[in-house]
């Protein structure tokens, strides 16, 4: 109990520290929260975003002007919102991985629903957001960067926001705790094996990153060691020692990245233990996951999202479905039993290979996957007068470009189910589609990433007759 109280006092001190930096400035009231989870203030008609400030709060802020860019920080909080809580993570104000831990989960959900309403509400009614029952420990993909601390000790963690300094993190409250323990053990083994972390400035050192992928349903665990050289000293002994500490590990892969780049994974891989892949089950289908393949971060919420998307589409057995940005086939394979045929297109070659393997693994015969540009593929189908009844699309955060959207208009699917991890770009794309013959029928926000400002949104559009 004493340790708990001591830890809680420290979290409260860090909470106040995160809200008290700089010199006294201007007294302001927070009038809203922006798309990045920052409070919005108005100073002489100019709107400025302030981190860690909640709607309805008043505060003294320090305002900094650099050329045409103005920033502000909270110096002193004067009145607090009822939605404010002390963040559970001691790294909240330095890490930047989460942006909303200072809000109750109910307030986070309301903020995200309101955000989608503001962006998409002009096209139709927005459903109540689908929340998560237990909004912790949900990330099944964990990336940790290695570095050296002030005392030359080996540390692992996440880059501090707006910097390239690694914050040492032993426990992240939104990550699978099994991964945190494995990363901690690897750090300890590095010391006994005299293995140095990679230094980006000097180019010296060996281990750059640790990537851990966990199967929520299967329990399988993949560990990817991203190294700077092809020769791994005492490789077999290191693997043996890691497996002794963590026999639950299913496979270990060495990934070689010897480039001066911010990209985590290199092009060369070598399996050190196991098959080099793991499996997990999503909506009743089994998927193979490789080091480079994309698989949804939060499987619990992904099932809710996909089930809702399929429900929206009201699929028929006679339908032909096109799955753009199909990845490893998670959406395509889950709806295949409900339709006549599924065509999946993906630019990433590794993902397409995984999709084909997943199709065979699940004995699905009416799904075909192709490597290529989905927009060009659809344009070719339109020219050949091929029919598609429903289009599913789940683009990256940047959304789709006009070329891709114009190919949808050419192909003329009766329904478009647009899944987006960024409602800002989704609203932009939906504006284009509604100009060219489509109408929004339903809008469903889903909280896929609790404690962050990110929100998933699924929209159904139908072609006007």
Cβ count near 383 (within 10 Å): 10
Cβ count near 78 (within 10 Å): 12
CB 106 within 8 A of CB 112: no
Residue-by-residue DSSP string for 314-363: T--TT-EEEEET-TTSHHHHHHGGGSSEEEEEES-HHHHHHHHHHHHHTT
CB 456 within 8 A of CB 315: no
Structure tokens at 410: 């050419």
* Degrees to nearest 5, angle at CA 394 with 108 and 290: 95
User: For residue 454, which of 284, 283, 305 has the smallest C-alpha distance?
Assistant: 305
**Catalytic (active-site) positions:** 421
Q: Give strand pairing partners of 122.
A: none
Structure tokens at 233: 């000293």
- Write down how long the chain is: 465
Q: Name residues whose C-beta falls within 8 Å of residue 429's C-beta, 6 or more positions apart in sequence.
A: 395, 399, 400, 405, 418, 420
User: For residue 408, which of 382, 446, 386 has the smallest C-alpha distance?
Assistant: 382
């Amino acid at each position: 109990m004493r340790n708990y109280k001591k830890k809680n006092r420290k979290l409260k001190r860090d909470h106040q520290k995160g809200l008290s930096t700089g010199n006294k400035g201007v007294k302001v009231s927070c009038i809203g929260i922006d798309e990045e989870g920052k409070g919005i203030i108005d100073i002489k008609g100019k709107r400025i975003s302030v981190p860690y400030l909640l709607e309805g709060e008043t505060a003294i802020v320090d305002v900094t002007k650099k050329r045409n860019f103005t920033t502000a920080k909270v110096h002193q909080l004067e009145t607090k919102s009822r939605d404010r809580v002390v963040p559970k993570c001691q790294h909240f104000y330095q890490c930047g991985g989460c942006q909303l831990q200072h809000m109750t989960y109910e307030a986070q959900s309301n903020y995200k629903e309101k955000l989608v309403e503001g962006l998409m509400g002009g096209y139709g009614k927005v459903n109540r957001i689908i929340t998560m029952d237990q909004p912790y420990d949900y990330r099944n993909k964990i990336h940790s960067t290695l570095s050296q601390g002030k005392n030359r000790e080996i540390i692992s963690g996440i880059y501090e926001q707006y910097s390239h300094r690694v914050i040492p993190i032993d426990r992240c409250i939104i990550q699978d705790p099994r991964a945190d323990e494995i990363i901690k053990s690897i750090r300890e083994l590095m010391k006994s094996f005299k293995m140095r972390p990679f230094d980006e400035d000097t180019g010296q050192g060996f281990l750059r990153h640790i990537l851990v992928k966990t199967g929520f349903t299967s329990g399988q665990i993949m560990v990817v060691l991203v190294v700077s050289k092809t020769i791994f000293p005492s490789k077999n002994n290191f693997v043996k020692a890691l497996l002794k500490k963590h026999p639950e590990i299913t496979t270990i892969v060495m990934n070689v990245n010897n480039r001066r780049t911010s990209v985590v994974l290199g092009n060369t891989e070598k399996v050190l233990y196991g098959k080099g892949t793991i499996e997990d089950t999503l909506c009743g289908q089994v998927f193979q996951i490789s080091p480079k393949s994309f698989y949804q971060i939060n499987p619990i919420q992904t099932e809710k999202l996909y089930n809702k998307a399929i429900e929206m589409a009201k699929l028929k057995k006679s339908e032909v479905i096109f799955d753009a940005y199909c990845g490893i086939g998670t959406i395509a394979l889950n709806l295949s039993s409900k339709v006549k045929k599924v065509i999946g297109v993906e630019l990433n070659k590794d993902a397409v290979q995984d999709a084909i393997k997943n199709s065979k693994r699940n004995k699905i015969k009416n799904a075909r996957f192709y490597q290529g540009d989905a927009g060009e593929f659809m344009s070719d189908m339109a020219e050949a007068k091929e029919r598609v009844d429903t289009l599913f699309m789940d683009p990256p955060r940047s959304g789709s470009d006009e070329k891709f959207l114009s190919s949808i208009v050419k192909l003329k699917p009766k329904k478009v189910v647009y899944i987006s991890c960024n409602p800002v770009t989704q609203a932009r794309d939906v504006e284009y589609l509604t100009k060219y013959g489509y109408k929004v029928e339903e809008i469903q926000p889903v909280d896929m990433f609790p404690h962050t400002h990110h929100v998933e949104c699924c929209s159904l559009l139908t072609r006007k007759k």
